[in-house]
Every structure is written in structure tokens, then in C-alpha cells.
Amino acid sequence: MVQHGDRSVIATNRRARHHYTIVDTYEAGLVLVGTEVKSLRLGRASLAEAFATVDAGEVWLRNLHVAEYWHGSWTNHTPRRSRKMLLHAKEIRTLTGKSRETGFALVPLSMYFKDGWVKVELALARGKKNWDKRRDIAARDAEREMARGIGWRLKGHPGRGRRGGRPEDPVLPYTP
């Protein structure tokens, strides 16, 4: 597990920011059984296909895969069961109204331990179109190219970044 301040990250949903535009984020607790917590402490979870729904005033995390605990017995948990999320009533009312609007989804971004409790960073997100994804990829690539060019300049390579050649390569004059 990766430590980030007071948080130790269990799992992240890397594809969520690619497929969705994040509108708002919420921190929610999870109702878990003992073997699930033990398995999560080993980092054995996947948020790749997980999503959240609001049913009868409660928020449920669906399709989250928590691997079975290998020391568990007949009391072991089901890996893909629905898990109840713990949020304030005001947050649940907000999520209920927003999730009913077209184009919005409740997507888990990351799962982590905070002060010994398992928390999920839940995002209210809007699905991206293909052209949005391509624009984001192009912007990210341009930013990476600029950073690379600046890095070459700071390291004292004046020719790199402009022509793409080595600085010690001579530039031959054009003779027809």
C-alpha cells in the first residue's frame, strides 16, 4: 500500500478520470465484514468495474472486487457483493438528485485507510465523449513535450527540443 500523508491507498480507479469529467467528490465509509478488512490490508481490491447507486435513501457500492482472505474459513466473504456506503443524509439527498439527471454517474476514484477506517473517494461524474478524451490526451502530450523541452534547456542542450538532433551534430549548409 502507498502512504499519502495520513492515508494509505489500497486501490485506485485510474480509468475513471479518462472516461469521466469529475464534477464533485465525496468521502464515504464502507460497511465491511472482518475478512474483507483483512484482505484490504493486504491490498487485494479492484475498483476497475465498480460503481455506486442510490437505492431507497442509501448509497451502495456495486461490483467492487475484494479478493477472499486466504486464511478465511467458511466465514469468508463473497468477492463481488454490494457494500453499503456511509454518507451524511444531506450528501445522500444531493447525490440522489444529481444521479437522476442524465449523464451523471457515481464513480469510486480511490479506496484507502484513514485512521484505521476504510474510506472511498466517491465522485459525481459526467461521462466524456470521444472527442473530449482525444482533446485531453492531446493536451497531456503537449504538456509533456513542453516539460521535456524545458528539461533539455535546463540541462544545457541547446539543440534538443528545436530540431530533435544532437547538439554536437554539425548543420551542413545547403548547396544546390
Residue 21: phi and psi, rounded to 5, are: -95, 120
* Residue 75 or 111, more confident: 111
Residue 60 pLDDT exceeds 90: yes
Alpha-carbon distance of 96 to 174, in angstroms, equals: 69
Q: What is the arithmetic mean of pLDDT over 35-42?
A: 86
Residue 113 pLDDT exceeds 60: yes
Would you list the DSSP string of 57-104? TEEEEES-EEPPPTT--TTPPPTT--EEEE--HHHHHHHHHHHHSTTE
- Of all helices (H) and strands (E), which one includes residue 160? none
pLDDT score recorded for residue 133: 78
Residue 2 pLDDT exceeds 80: no
Indicate whether this model's pTM tops 0.75: no
Q: Considering the chain, what percentage of its residues have pLDDT values greater than 90?
A: 20
Confidence of residue 92 (pLDDT cuts 50, 70, 90): very high
What mean pLDDT value characterizes the chain? 82
Phi-psi region of 51 (alpha: psi -120 to 50; beta: other; left: phi over 0): beta
Residue 33's Cβ-count burial label (10 Å; 0-12, 13-18, 19+) is middle
pLDDT score recorded for residue 176: 67
pLDDT score recorded for residue 74: 72
**Cα angle vertex 82, ends 44, 80, to 5°?**
40
C-beta of residue 36 within 8 angstroms of C-beta of residue 77: yes
